[in-house]
Chain A
Amino acid sequence: MLFVRASSPHLQPINSVALVMRRVMLALIPGVAACLWLFGWGVLVNLALATATALTAEAVMLRLRGRPLGLFLSDGSAVVTALLLALALPALAPWWLTVLATGFAVVVAKHLYGGLGYNPFNPAMVGYVVALISFPLPMTLWVTPDAAVHLDLLQTLAYQLRGVLPGDLSVDAVTAATPLDAIKTQIELRRTLSEIREGGGAFGAFGGVGWEWAGLAFLAGGLWLLYKGVIHWHIPAGMLGGLAGMALLFYLFDSDTYASPMLHLFSGGAMLGAFFIATDPVTASTTDRGRLIYGAGIGVLTYLIRTWGGYPDGVAFAVLLMNMAAPTIDHYTQPRVFGAPGDRRGG
């Protein structure tokens, strides 16, 4: 009788990276649907382009590094990176922008650091920031959430692939500043928030116009991820708490210059960032207390950059800055081991 030798445990495995990634993709569906409805077909084109680029880039890098293709391509991590990056990019971004950003994210931010599990920086955010800094103009051409002016699929493809718009339209007609962008420029022009509100184009029902629905949809997806145990509550709570906390502080101080917490929470990449981007396990802190600090750091930095920084939305930079801090946070927030006196450090 031939028996196989193995090390314990001897049970069916109950978890897998592919399962985790699949759940994240499922949780993105409401948000993707909302974005499609708000910003048109460009979102879908971006998603498709990014996914294709990510998988291709990953396959090439795996082959170059001599790693098994099937095992790593099927874990779904590259696809999730691509989806998140595509949702962060403007809907009408030219094809080369999406391809460049995704390629950079997968090749440089992920594989050059060692591949899955070894990257210190969030690949999607690295790709986004590279695109933002290198090509500021295309990155600020956001589609207006007014569905009436949306292009159909063929027109969208024509614009993104060839840069051609239908005859009677100009770029200004289909694009608009994001709520955060509008507020920022207007504040710099010394207008108050009430004046901006009357001017229209920034405030919606409870958040930034149009963007609030996307935020709500991502929130729903994020709550499902929490329920399924895919993510821990510490990072979203920390981030949203930090952001809302800072916003509340300054809003109470001067409500006409500083936007309300609701506006901050429901515009830009706050919800997407809190539940999907900041919670990337590889680059985040790993201890519970550390996660709270990490999330809060992202929230505070996002507020700072949004209010006083050079960019309308600061989620991407905040995430990257806290990625740098994550190992130090981990070191100082070790949990107490069973049976040990209250010792928080790892040695």
Chain B
Amino acid sequence: MKIDPHNLHRFHGGLHLPGNKEVSLQRPLARVPLPARLFLPLQQHIGTPAEPCVEPGEAVLKGQVLAYAEGYVSVPVHAPTSGTIVEVSEEPVPHPSGLAARCVVLEPDGEDSWLQRPRPGEYRSLNPSALRNRIREAGIVGLGGAGFPSFIKLNPGRRRKVELLVLNGAECEPYITCDDMLMRARPEEIIQGAEIMRHALGAEQCVIGLEDNKPEAAGALREALQQSPDARVQVIAVPARYPAGGEKQLIQVLTGREVPSHGLPLDIGIVCHNVATAAAVFRALVRAEPLIDRIVTVTGAGVKEPRNVEVAIGTPLRDVIEFCGGYSDDVKRLIVGGPMMGFTLDSDQVPVTKTTNCILVAGHAEAPDPLPALPCIRCGACVDVCPANLLPQQLYWYSRARDFEKTQDYHLFDCIECGCCAQVCPSHIPLVQYFRFAKTEIWSQEREKRKADHARQRHEFHLQRLEQEKREREERMRSKKEALEHPPGAGEVADPKKAAIEAALARVRAKQAARDDPRTARESNLRQPDEAPTAGPQVDKTGR
């Protein structure tokens, strides 16, 4: 695949948004000290939650597995530091629903002692499958915000050939600068991670795509590339336009090709990972460090000292904000993620997870109250900006009318929920909310349908079984009737039940005879008290 940095393509729609990025780049990267307690959710990834394998009171070391992966789409959770397990309980976690989830609660002991790790060894000698296993064991998920287990996305499968690995450093949302900071501070980790990933995928080339508003990061990456001339990695700056950092949009800009609707980039021979994921892969393979911390941007008018920080997974948001100077007077919303796609939280007592890329404490001017929505005037501004070429207007009408079949006809599930349409709507209609509502309704309907199908199958089987029993009963009645009408001859066994009773009586008589026999009397006397009561028909002396 030929990528010409001077001949890039465009994606449809998109918006030019004010970046607001300088404010969090003024201070250097710093490490947040460990809090009093770490809360590690068992599910920080798409897929099945991990299963805890530690007990309250147990002492653990840094990097130790606290919960193992359950099923295929799952990764383990590791201890970010040494300490004692307090409990495994339901704790508030950062999620738009505000619900709690199971977490391992860990109390650091201040020693920060590492688990005995094997010497990293030469990762280049590992085959792709072993590489993927190591990446899985390190608990690495997509650090761009989605949290899909990375080892799965590094598996090309038997039938597909991966030509290109794209590393996404675009970071198109306003305010967020964690990837920018990482690219500036540790470019060599990203490049080496890219090489490892390329090897795991069997891809021939790798492109790091970033927006052209990050010249320092591009410079740092290019300098680091000069140190590793063997790396088949290219750094390409794309025009800054939201959402250039969307996986499908970035691929379109770089290669001109479109990921098929309802498909994956793998379908066109491309795999896309975040730059931070690549750095995490480097640490896992070269330093044998599992994923236990990440860089988070803390910004917004509501924070006194906006900056990028390195945080241990499980640190409560409150502690992170305290480290950044605490809250200012102008606090309106606490947003996890960026202003276009982030979700709000009720409280700051939730922990940083593997997918927390930004904590945006928005002030009153930055995040004003939503204005009342007017009716849709069919102006088409939403259609103009949709990067997925959808008709948000039609999706809105049908979602509102709960005509979910029609929404799917208009490709509802191709919506990436970027928020461009809602941002330009003159009637201030919360379009993305309608689409999320429609999607969840459809999923819920599908679940109900599956349950109903299952219940119907069981019911049908139940009826079938009853039918069969009825037939068997009739069969027995019929044969019994026949036996009564035609009594059995001398040698015939008329009724199996009668025969069984005869046989039991015969056994009892034999036993009685043996007891009365003086030769076996002592033996049976000794045996009798130890004998367990028989399960068969209990016949006592009166029943003879």
Contacts and interface: CB of A to CB of B under 8 A. Distances in A.
B321 to A, nearest CB: 9
Interface in A284-338: 284, 286-287, 334-338
B261 interface: yes
Interface string B312-354: 0000000000000001000111110101111111111000000
Interface string B467-505: 000000000000000000000000000000000000000
B378 A281 contact: yes
B259 A10 contact: no
A16 B426 contact: yes
Contact of B380 (A16, A232, A338): A232
B48 interface: no
B205 interface: no
Contacts of A15: 381, 424-426
B9 interface: no
A346 interface: yes
A171 interface: no
Contacts of A59: none
Task: Count chain B CB atoms within 10 A of each CB in A5, A115, A334, A339 and give the residue with the most.
Answer: A339
Contact of B377 (A1, A117, A338): A117
Contact of A338 (B379, B389, B406): B389
A14 B389 contact: no
Contacts of B335: 10
B391 A5 contact: no
A340 B419 contact: no
A6 B333 contact: yes
B248 A9 contact: no
Interface string B238-282: 000000000010001000001111110000000000000000000
Interface in A46-98: 68, 71-72, 75, 77
B423 interface: yes
A1, A346, A347 — which one has the most chain B CB atoms within 10 A of its CB? A1
Contact of A9 (B376, B379, B432): B432
Interface in A257-272: none
Contacts of A338: 11-12, 248, 252, 258-259, 261, 387-390, 414
A232 B381 CA distance: 10
A72 B373 CA distance: 11
**Interface of A: prevailing SS:** loop
Contacts of B378: 117, 281-282, 284, 286
Contacts of B383: 286-287, 335
B340 A9 contact: yes
Interface stretch (B73-81, B191-199, B362-370): B362-370
A341 B12 CA distance: 16
Nearest to B345: A3
A281 B377 contact: yes
A286 to B, nearest CB: 5
A205 interface: no
B344 A11 contact: no
Interface centre among B174, B380, B394, by most A CB within 10 Å?
B380
A13 B426 CA distance: 8
Contacts of A7: 344, 370, 430, 432-433, 436
Given A1-B331, A287-B391, A338-B388, A11 B374 contact: no
Interface of A: 1, 3-17, 19-20, 68, 71-72, 75, 77, 114-118, 232, 281-282, 284, 286-287, 334-340, 346-347
10 contacts: A3-B344, A6-B369, A9-B422, A10-B362, A68-B372, A116-B375, A281-B379, A334-B410, A338-B261, A346-B391
